[in-house]
A = this chain, B = another copy of it.
């Protein structure tokens, strides 16, 4: 498949000006120039542009990207695997920032009293990639010894366990609060609503995009799907229905 400059731009979501600039600085040359002087791009250029955008997304400057892609030992597969790690890091950082926003909201609403100034800046972007890491690639492990790297990995592992632990704690809290709420018999009451709120927070751990509609939809699924119903009914008979009602009220689907 061959592309003119605008077609490629539309495909990749960048402007034609950007592609001309990339030509100008020599980071992405067209496959050929046709008789009218038009830039024509081919398959190799599509893939190279994809690589460029992967690095750009990680905040690497174009000059560095050029050097990386043109280096004699460039290994696309290894690079992609590194990308994956970096993107996952980025996602983790986003989670931190989202937690920051949530805590700030709680703070504004008076539900959290101890928010330090330094906490207010957790999760904002730092440079994800440092040049050395890009340049020396796999050698860093040999250079600094596996110990350092393993220590770093262990730290991540600890964080994961901690995160998992928090999620478990939250899940337990949902169950406990649900049980107490059911004793009151009122899904609209304070405890019922607290259950729904806890449930939302638990969801947010794994769910990407929270919306009220989705939350309510899931609540209904809890009732319809026997596997879920069975899980929640461990808490008590009719717990799935009670939880659904509480969530419907919480999300405004029922009054």
The answer to whether A156 touches B101 (Cβ under 8 A) is no
Residues of B within 8 A of A23 (CB): none
Is the C-beta of A53 less than 8 angstroms from some C-beta in chain B? Answer: yes
Q: A109-B77, A208-B95 are in contact. Are A101 and B84 (CB under 8 A)?
A: yes
The answer to whether A88 touches B120 (Cβ under 8 A) is no
Q: A108-B77, A121-B12 are in contact. Are A217 and B84 (CB under 8 A)?
A: no
Q: Bound complex: CA of A11 vs CA of B218, how far in Å?
A: 40
A153's contact among B50, B102, B150, B211, by CB below 8 Å, is which? B211
Q: Bound complex: CA of A12 vs CA of B83, how far in Å?
A: 27
The answer to whether B87 touches A120 (Cβ under 8 A) is no
The answer to whether A47 touches B156 (Cβ under 8 A) is no
Interface of A, helix, strand, loop or mixed by DSSP: helix
The answer to whether A213 touches B154 (Cβ under 8 A) is yes
Size of chain A's interface in residues, with CB distance under 8 A?
59
A211's contact among B1, B104, B105, B156, by CB below 8 Å, is which? B156
The answer to whether A90 touches B94 (Cβ under 8 A) is yes
- A183-211 residues at the B interface, CB under 8 angstroms: 206-211
Is the C-beta of A160 less than 8 angstroms from some C-beta in chain B? Answer: yes
Question: 8 tightest A-B contacts by CB?
Answer: A153-B213, A92-B208, A206-B206, A12-B121, A88-B209, A50-B120, A160-B214, A157-B214
